[in-house]
Amino acid sequence: MKDTSSSLPVVVITGGSLGIGAATAGEFLLRNWRVALLDITPLPKDNPAYDSSSDRVLFLQTDITKEAQVKKAFETIYSSWGRIDTLINNAGIAQVKAFEKTTPQEWSHIYDVNVMGTLLVTQVSLPYLKKQDASQIITIASGAADHGIKDLSLYGMSKAALVNFSQALHAELGKYNISVCAITPGSTDTPLFRKAFPGQNPIHTPVYVARIIADVAEHIIYPNTNRIVDTFYHRHQN
């Protein structure tokens, strides 16, 4: 049902089924936002947004590398709620492997999801974000974008591209009052991290990172002059 009269802001989160995306959905729901989740993975029952009866949640199973699916998802969100205030580009994949042993197919897969998928979602979102007096795009990069990590060269390269993209896009979209920044978390206790680094202890919890993301969206935390929010610097108590 269309709800254009509601004043509740709307956030779209890619990769919203698990890990940081799921925690971020929960954090925005606690802060009284409406939350739309896009993910190729079905929404698990332990996701904070798993409540089909809620009028503040939309889940749209979407492959962010497929243009038709992405366009349909945004059309559904806008027709349901009449506004989109914030986009959070969170979807991504990683592979732990020495570069010498990687293949061109693996290069393409990581780049297609982490970079091309983010570009596609961002471009599709722009006509909707421009309808607001002010809106924002927050892209989840990684500490690996700044500091190369052994056996994570493809992942780190893709995340570094997203930081640069965010910086350039912020300069382009300022005239529409759309702010853009990148957040660079350290290792975070997600299914992706546990699969990639079995037996290792991460630095952050997903909830910790989610609070920073929501604080940026609500203008409690601001990015530095390079349009980056470093989660090591912006500490929260869990």
pLDDT tens digits for 194-218?
776 778 787 778 889 999 999 999 9
pLDDT at 182: 96
Of 177, 5, 178, whose CA–CA distance to 82 is shortest?
5
How far is it, in rounded angstroms, from Cα 8 to Cα 80? Answer: 13
Cβ atoms of residues 205 and 189 within 8 Å: yes
**Tokens 């393409």 correspond to what residue?**
108
Q: Please check the confidence at residue 117 and state whether its pLDDT lies above 50.
A: yes
Using the Cα atoms of residue 213, residue 95, residue 99 and residue 113 in order, give the sign of their dihedral. Answer: negative
Q: Please check the confidence at residue 94 and state whether its pLDDT lies above 70.
A: yes
Domains, in order of start, for the chain: 10-230 (3.40.50.720)
Phi, psi for residue 66 in degrees, rounded to 5: -110, 115
**End-to-end CA separation in angstroms for the chain:** 37
Of 71, 72, 183, whose CA–CA distance to 122 is shortest?
71
Pairing of strands 10-14, 178-184: unpaired
